[in-house]
Amino acid sequence: MKTLISLKIQILALASVLVIASNTQAEVPSMDKMGTSSPTTVFENLKQDTCKDKVRDTKAMGDMKGMGDMKAMPPALGGDAPKNARDPFANSGGYEYRGMSGWEDTDEWNVGKFIADQFEYRKGDATNFYRWDTQSWYGTDYDKFWAKFEGNENSSKDEGELELQMLYSHSVAAFWDAQIGLRYDRAHNPNGTESRYFGVLGFQGLAPYWFEVEPALFISNKGDISGRLVATYDLLITQKLIFQPRLEVNISANDLPQFNIGKGINDLQLDLRLRYEINREFAPYIGLAWFSKYGKTADYFRTAGEATVDTQLVAGVRFWF
């Protein structure tokens, strides 16, 4: 029994020696070479081999320090292509992607649109008239020719006014365009016709919370400065029934009694329209329009015998193509 246990211990010892030798990549002497060497001698030989390996690895690491003087390796990514690199367009035959009709980038397409946001009849306590407010544009997502045309006409009194803006519009941010151009105003009544010309500088775009905003600055041919802010919001009651509030404020830096315009805030207009989109391009609507004149502008209107505050019923159609 003791002999069997002793034999097992010797086998385990020999197995341990083989494992250590394999981990250290040391060469274990064959049984023939070991002869009658004692285990102590075997372990001393393994220890010496291990020390030799460490010395050899340390020397190799020292030799690698000299590699710092070598030419730096090129980066794995980026940089210029080698001079003898293959031209990726060598077999294209000169064919350019943008020359493929119908496959250009969509933001470079020229597209146009016309929209009549207001085309209506207004009936108020002071006056009744027809009114229109349209916009149209043509161009790419970045550069457009933009036209704005609005006005009103009271056929019963043979009076009215119109405004035409011809603008260059350039995209300056997502959903925002800067606009510059000219504006022409014309007003007529039984006493005659008056025309004015302006330079225009403004912006048009979509503000946070989906407000469509149009601030603009006007400078007349005589140096008079005025400004306007228009803001609208579409509230979808359903996919077809839409409620739209609209706010417009006009201000002037000059006192112009010949045009019934005073310095400061001239007027404030608030419209409420409820439209039903029979389809996206055609939507009849009804609503209310309220306006009020302020400051010297209100004084000029009172002197002329015209109303300074009025509320009007509105019925019309909104369409685009």
Q: Are residues 124 and 49 in the same domain?
A: no
Does a structural domain hold residue 133?
yes
Residues in the chain: 321
Instruction: Name the more confident of 255 and 72.
Output: 255
302 and 190 assigned to the same domain: yes
Same domain, residue pair 127 and 46: no
What share of the chain in percent tops pLDDT 90? 62
* Shared domain check, 223 and 316: yes
* Stronger pLDDT, 93 or 40, i.e. the higher one: 93
Same domain, 305 and 202: yes
308 and 171 in a single domain? The answer is yes
User: Rounded to an integer, what distance in angstroms lies between the CA atom of residue 45 and that of residue 27?
Assistant: 10
| 29 located within any domain | yes
Determine which of 153-167, 228-242, 260-274 has the lowest per-residue pLDDT on average.
153-167
When the pLDDT of each residue in the chain is averaged and rounded to a whole number, the result is 83
Alpha helix positions (H), the chain: 2-23, 31-34, 39-64, 295-303
Q: What is the pLDDT of residue 34?
A: 46
Same domain, 199 and 315: yes
Residue 229 scores a pLDDT above 60: yes
Residue 180 lies in a domain: yes
pLDDT attached to residue 80: 74
In whole angstroms, give the CA distance from residue 187 to residue 127: 17
Question: 51 and 117 share a domain?
Answer: no
What pLDDT, on a 0 to 100 scale, did the predictor assign at position 70? 46
Give me the mean pLDDT over the 93-104 stretch.
56
Q: Confirm whether 94 is domain-assigned.
A: no
Same structural domain for residues 224 and 118?
Answer: yes
Is the pLDDT confidence value at 39 over 80? no
The CATH number for 254's domain is 2.40.160.40
Q: How many domains does the chain have?
A: 2
The b-or-e profile of 98-116 (16+ CB within 10 A means b, else e) is eeeeeeeeeeeeeeeeeeb
Write down which residue in 56, 80, 96 finishes a domain: 56
Q: Which of 182, 158, 154 lies closest to 168, judged by CA?
A: 182
Note whether residue 24 is domain-resident: yes
- Whether the predicted model's global pTM rises above the 0.75 cut: no
* 204, 277: one domain: yes
Indicate whether 26 pLDDT > 50.
no
Q: Do 51 and 183 fall into the same domain?
A: no
Find the domain containing 20 and state its range: 2-56
Across the range 2-28, mean pLDDT stands at 59
Phi, psi of 36 (to 5 degrees): -105, 25
pLDDT at 234 over 90: yes
Asked if the model's pLDDT at residue 320 lies above 50, the reply is yes
**Stretch among 65-69, 104-108, 227-231 having the lowest mean pLDDT:** 65-69
In a domain, 86, yes or no: no
Q: Does residue 306 belong to any structural domain of this protein? A: yes
Q: Is 90 exceeded by the pLDDT of residue 170?
A: yes
What is the per-residue pLDDT for 36? 47
- The residues that bridge with 167 in the sheet, in sequence order, are 146, 181
List the beta bridge partners of residue 219.
199, 225
pLDDT in tens, 270-299: 999 999 999 999 999 999 999 999 999 999
The pLDDT-based confidence of 127 (bands split at 50, 70, 90) is: confident
- Do 131 and 46 lie in one domain? The reply is no
Does residue 85 sit within a domain? no
**Nearest 5°: CA angle at 244, between 240 and 249?**
160
- Sign of the Cα torsion 18, 22, 26, 31 reads positive
pLDDT at 56: 55
Q: What is the pLDDT of residue 283?
A: 98
Domain boundary among 10, 36, 56: 56
For range 180-198, the mean pLDDT: 95
